[in-house]
Amino acid sequence: MSTAQARVRQRRQQTEGRFLAGLTRAFGGAMLFAVPTLMTMEVWQFGFIMDELRLALMLALTVPLLAGFSYFGGFQPTIDWREDVIDAFVAYAVGFVTAVALLPLLGVIDTRMPASEIVGKVSLQASICSIGAMLARSQFGEHPPEQDEPDFGGHMFIALIGALALSLNIAPTEEVLLLAHMMGPRQLVGLAVLTLLLMHALMYAAEFRGQLERGEASFWSLFVRSTVVAYVIALLVSLVILWSFGRLEGDPFEVVLGYAIVLGFPAGIGAAAARLIL
């Protein structure tokens, strides 16, 4: 065997080895991220309560989300986009296997249940687990040595992922609706203002670390361009999740806005912190 062939083979083995290590890490990330939802009653129940079309839409949207996350989440954008798509499906497979392995063990699904209930429970959890699997690469420390700063759109996509990451665990619970009903209009406004201030502090910290326009950005420029836009993304993410879970049915606008502000609190912090964490 020539040395060139040996080198090719060695590199192939290294790549496979790294893939296995990455796969293990992905399972770790799926667990870390999804254990709260795997052990939350409302999430199991949404598996059979949720409108099937909305659940199917949620699953379908998971793939571009994961692929986009793979694209922006740490690797240089110059890499072949097909690898991001493959990575998205790998993350989905990891999420699916995690859900299928854990839900019967926890007694959440068993063979006496109708197929629709099992598929609903598994696919909802698989979707959430797969985001965790994709998060694993950044949470468990995988940043390439030299990384290009993503552009504005990239930053906002990362903010969207961060918003999802923090709000997905909380959105299915009754508490979101209950809090919105318990809080008065003044408290809701106060929470919205607090969310914005916290987000701005986090965005500023990220801006500073990211060295993007360091020292150049004025308070208002950064506030309007980054913080407010990220908050709007967080509110929209909150509304879409609540809509997917059928939480907005039959409620007037002001009540829905209350829900969005309550869920927008974790979503907003996630959106702003995303660049620090991811």
Partner 1 sequence: VSAGRDGPGRAAAPRPTGINGAGAPLGEWLVGALGLVLLLAAIGFLLWHAMQPSRPPSIELQVDYIAEQRHGYMVRINARNDGTRPVAELQIRGLLFNAAGDSDGDALETAEASLDYLPGGSTRRGVLLFERDPRQHRLRLRAVGYHEP
Q: Which residues bind partner 1 (CB under 8 A)?
A: 11-12, 14-23, 25-26, 45, 48-49, 51-53, 55-56, 59-60, 62-63, 70, 75-76, 79-80, 82-83, 85-94, 96, 112-117, 119-120, 122-123, 126, 133-134, 136-137, 141-147
Helix or strand or coil: residue 71?
A: helix
CB 201 within 8 A of CB 173: no
Determine the Cα–Cα distance for residues 262 and 184; give it in Å rounded to an integer. 12
Instruction: CB nearer to partner 1: give 136 or 242.
Output: 136
Instruction: CB nearer to partner 1: give 87 or 207.
Output: 87
Instruction: CB nearer to partner 1: give 11 or 209.
Output: 11
- Report, in angstroms and rounded to the nearest whole number, the Rg of the chain calculated over CA atoms: 20
CB 245 within 8 A of CB 174: no
Helices 185-210 and 229-244: crossing angle, nearest 10°?
120
What is the closest distance, in whole angstroms, from the C-beta atom of residue 186 to partner 1 in the complex?
32
What is the closest distance, in whole angstroms, from the C-beta atom of residue 103 to partner 1 in the complex?
14
What is the closest distance, in whole angstroms, from the C-beta atom of residue 122 to partner 1 in the complex?
7
The candidate with the shortest Cα–Cα distance to 270, out of 140, 131, 145, 150, is 131
Please tell me the total number of residues recorded for the chain in this structure: 278
Determine the distance from the C-alpha atom of residue 117 to the mean position of all C-alpha atoms in its chain, rounded to a whole number.
24
Instruction: CB nearer to partner 1: give 112 or 186.
Output: 112
DSSP, res 79: S
The label of the residue with tokens 């949404």 reads 46
Instruction: CB nearer to partner 1: give 197 or 276.
Output: 276
In angstroms, the first-to-last Cα distance of the chain is 44
Instruction: CB nearer to partner 1: give 19 or 219.
Output: 19
Determine the Cα–Cα distance for residues 143 and 207; give it in Å rounded to an integer. 18
Instruction: CB nearer to partner 1: give 28 or 210.
Output: 28
Determine the Cα–Cα distance for residues 46 and 158; give it in Å rounded to an integer. 27
What is the closest distance, in whole angstroms, from the C-beta atom of residue 206 to partner 1 in the complex?
21
Determine the Cα–Cα distance for residues 116 and 276; give it in Å rounded to an integer. 40
Single-letter amino acid code for the residue at 207: E
Helix or strand or coil: residue 73?
A: coil
DSSP, res 143: -
Instruction: CB nearer to partner 1: give 119 or 240.
Output: 119
What is the closest distance, in whole angstroms, from the C-beta atom of residue 262 to partner 1 in the complex?
20
What is the closest distance, in whole angstroms, from the C-beta atom of residue 271 to partner 1 in the complex?
23
What is the closest distance, in whole angstroms, from the C-beta atom of residue 153 to partner 1 in the complex?
20
What is the closest distance, in whole angstroms, from the C-beta atom of residue 84 to partner 1 in the complex?
9
